[in-house]
Chains A and B, each alone.
Chain A
Amino acid sequence: MTQTIDTNTVKHVATLVRLGITDEEAQKFSGQFSSIIEYFNMLNEVDTENIVPASDIANAENILREDVVKPSMSREEFLRNAPQAEGGYVKVPTILGEE
């Protein structure tokens, strides 16, 4: 099964992962993705009828604890790495459109 990933698909997935890309980049990735995905298609050979997908590695048990308040990083310390902060909050531009 040959499957090509065209530039529109590349641009679509770039949007999904919030990545700005140019037309030239989309072109380059499109070729690379097609050969990588074609390689992955080898998995189609494997019979996985009645096989349960892996969902954990080792510890399949719930871990519960009391919900107690404990000291943690101060707000000031937390905001030290924020590119923009104001009044004890992280500051970002408009999230919801104005129109």
Chain B
Amino acid sequence: MQLPNLTIREIHQLLLTKKISSVELTQATLQRAHEIDPKINSYVTITDDLALEQARQADECLAKGENITPLTGIPFAMKDCISTRGVRTTCSSKILKDYVPQYNATVTNKLADAGAVLIGKTNMDEFGMGSSCENSAFFNTCNPWDLTCVPGGSSGGAAAAMSAGLCNFSIGEDTGGSVRMPAGFCNVTGIKPTYGRVSRYGLIALVSSFDCIGPMTRDAYDCATVLETIAGHDQYDSTTFNLPVPRYTKNIGKSVKGMTIGIPKEYFVSGMEAGVESSIQEAIRTYEKLGMVVREVSLPNTKYALPVYYLLLFAEASSNLARFDGTRFGLSVADNAKDVLDIYLQTRREGFGDEVKRRIMLGAYALSAGYYDAYYLKAQKVRTLLRRDFELALSAVDILLAPTCPTTAFKLGEKTSDPLEMYLSDIYVVATNPAGVPALSLPAGFSNNMPVGMQLIGKHLDEQSLFQIGHAYQQETDWHKKLPSI
């Protein structure tokens, strides 16, 4: 039985009917992770002992028939920027290499309360800054579909672990495509929920006004199940909505006939790989066959999304990363330090990689006297226009459909020498974060044997339509069931 490839609900049935125990499943998953992960390096830390302890507890619940949730006993992986008490949380940075949090993120607590089993913490671009996982201070993660290619970023480890069957779902974090882009590159389903739907408490912040924690799974149904568990109001995060969490699986299976899809014309321009474009066109035809109405819409400020996104990211990151100063936690380089400033300068110089240095310096530049109006303030104004674009487009249709990336996964090392070239690979995913809207990435075919991702973008708080429409597609296609041979 190929357990790693099963969906959460399939495993849930096996657990309920006692065909397998969570301990057996967890042991098999850990063994597979230890065996296969050296090829792809998706995990920074594998939490054997904790996993087995959580699995034993899950088996107790299953035996007693108490506190059983859809995630009870299910192995998962989590991006290493989400705090786990007693388990080191590195953000794939030298500055947090040995940092062991004293508290759990709200998401960590919710998953533990639901009985899920943490297999390990996954590799990422340092502090989420990157689109290929190559900015990890530790090692590169390889794409399970082609080990010479990147898995995408920044949640590259979480996507690769999911794709290679080293967990049954994973938790990523999306600041500007960091769940969707690697999900697309690795052939998994992933969602960036509406900003404020999932608590950021205990998430190590990159851009506080963009950051969204979101799951990666085998299919849209599982994605709805996991999001239902982690979403909700949190007294420790004042930006979370104080609204009940809907049952995200509720509309799954309902007909999508008569619902409308908008195709943003600005997303279908030169630069898109031919195989990506044909896959997306094929997906549109699939939806037409299901009776959905497809019409062209416009997001006129699309070309400004990338500069807006990066300017605001640099600015917020330069402020958020000020806390890594070598005095309270994390790396501290105090060689012959004559004052505290020396500790700051040395620690941050040693502890941060080049991309982090670039971004926090550019952030300080964009915020500094004389440039604030031209860069930071200008970007916040154009952000208002980006949000209006989405509001207007989504007032006429139920969802927007677009490719997740203009290309399939690129080669390791292909874009590392030119930061700007790397930024451009995010072109279709970044606009949603300044606007706050949710977006679901789904496997949509292959181009030159590498996975193609398609994203559905929805209205604020309308994840339900994304799951319904995403699931309808996955009933008609089996791209999401394709697995890499690894």
Give the B-binding residues of A (Cβ under 8 A).
5, 9-10, 13-14, 16-21, 25, 29, 32-33, 35-37, 39-40, 42-44, 46, 48, 51-59, 63, 65, 73, 77-78, 80-84, 90, 92-95, 97
Contact = CB atoms under 8 A, between A and B. Distances in A.
Contact of B358 (A29, A43, A53, A56): A29
13 contacts: A5-B365, A17-B318, A21-B357, A25-B357, A29-B361, A43-B304, A43-B311, A46-B381, A46-B382, A53-B380, A58-B241, A58-B460, A95-B340
A93 B340 contact: yes
Interface in B363-382: 363-366, 368, 374-375, 377-382
User: Which of B99, B357, B363: most chain A Cβ within 10 A?
Assistant: B357
A33 B348 contact: no
Interface string B188-215: 0000001110000000000001000000
A36 to B, nearest CB: 6
Contact of B348 (A19, A25, A37): A19
A83 B330 CA distance: 8
A9 B352 CA distance: 20
Contacts of A42: 303-304, 307
Per CB-CB distance, the 6 closest pairs between chain A and chain B, nearest first, are A83-B332, A53-B380, A81-B329, A20-B345, A20-B349, A48-B381
B218 interface: no
B474 to A, nearest CB: 29
Given A13-B368, A94-B338, 16 more contacts: A13-B364, A17-B318, A19-B352, A33-B362, A36-B362, A39-B420, A43-B308, A46-B378, A51-B384, A54-B434, A65-B235, A78-B102, A81-B330, A82-B327, A92-B340, A93-B338
Nearest to B380: A53
B307 A73 contact: no
Interface majority SS on B: helix, strand, loop or mixed?
A: helix
Contacts of B434: 54
Given A19-B357, A59-B241, A77-B102, A39 B329 contact: no
B345 A40 contact: no
